[in-house]
């Protein structure tokens, strides 16, 4: 599969879900920038990648129902909010 497998509306929803997850679960997020590339996760579903606050890289994988499965965090990634450490905050 490749980016053309998903329509623009689906890709937009995946990006919005990833941004909401990041902003609701992590501190001091001023901006979320997405890479424009293949959105297919090797395990199925979506893989959305980009940068937080212009510097810290991230990758968010989610299933086809837009539920976040995992998060990869690069150097300088913001800390998790205290209230979201024991359970994922709503997104």
pLDDT tens, 47-90? Answer: 999 999 999 999 999 998 999 999 999 999 999 999 999 999 99
In terms of residue numbers, what domain contains 42?
3-75
Alpha-carbon distance of 20 to 25, in angstroms, equals 8
Alpha-carbon distance of 44 to 62, in angstroms, equals 9
* CATH code: domain of residue 44: 3.10.450
pTM of the model: 0.88
Alpha-carbon distance of 12 to 71, in angstroms, equals 18
Q: What is the enclosing helix (H) or strand (E) of 52?
A: strand 46-52
Q: Is residue 34 part of a domain?
A: yes
| 55 within 8 A of 47, measured Cβ to Cβ | no
How many domains, the chain? 1
């Amino acid at each position: 599969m490749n980016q053309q497998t998903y329509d623009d509306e689906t890709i937009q929803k995946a990006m919005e879900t990833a941004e909401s997850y990041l902003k609701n679960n992590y501190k001091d997020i001023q901006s979320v920038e997405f890479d424009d590339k293949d959105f297919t996760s090797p395990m199925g579903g979506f893989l959305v990648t980009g940068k937080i606050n212009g510097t810290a890289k991230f990758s968010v994988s989610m299933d086809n129902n837009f539920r976040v499965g995992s998060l990869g965090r690069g150097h300088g990634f913001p800390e998790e909010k205290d209230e979201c450490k024991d359970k994922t905050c709503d997104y």
